[in-house]
Amino acid sequence: MPSFKTSFRVSWVDTDSAKIVHFSNYFRYFEKAEEEFYRKLGCNFDDMAEKYGIILPRVEAYCHYVSPLKFNDLVEIELSVKELREKAVKYWFKVYNKQNGRLAAEGYIVVVAADRNLGGAVKIPKEIAEKLKSYMEF
């Protein structure tokens, strides 16, 4: 099983006047899953900056909304590595309503590795790339 999973409850503040999670918050959910994923890999955004001098700007983000989430719903996000290039990685996210197993949304984020000071794209550190590889879908 090459994917990473994390769960949490929908907060009241995540919802809007339609009584559903606001569409922009799915991107926050994606990133939250990515943060947990990095913690599991044993590093985080700050470590990347300090240890490797690398920041991870987002270059693309996409979401397809399938079935709305509401306040208090138990959400499960599944993260997998869809593409791994020298200087970029594409994460794929599936967002489920864990109570009924229904897919709520899916989408992706493309992240590039960039030099912390110069800004230009750089190679993803080998150590990190190895770890990411083990979460690739085949």
Q: How far is the CB of 138 from its own copies (least distance, A)?
A: 26
Q: Does 18 bind its own copies (CB under 8 A)?
A: yes
Q: Is 69 in the site for its own copies (CB under 8 A)?
A: no
The CA distance from 122 to 28, in Å, is 25
The Cα 116–Cα 121 span in angstroms is 10
For residue 123, the minimal CB distance to its own copies (Å) is 20
Among 40, 51, 58, 123, binds its own copies (CB under 8 A): 58
Q: Is 54 in the site for its own copies (CB under 8 A)?
A: no
Positions touching its own copies (CB under 8 A) are 9, 11-13, 15-20, 22-25, 27-28, 31-32, 35-36, 39, 44-46, 55, 57-65, 68, 70-72, 109
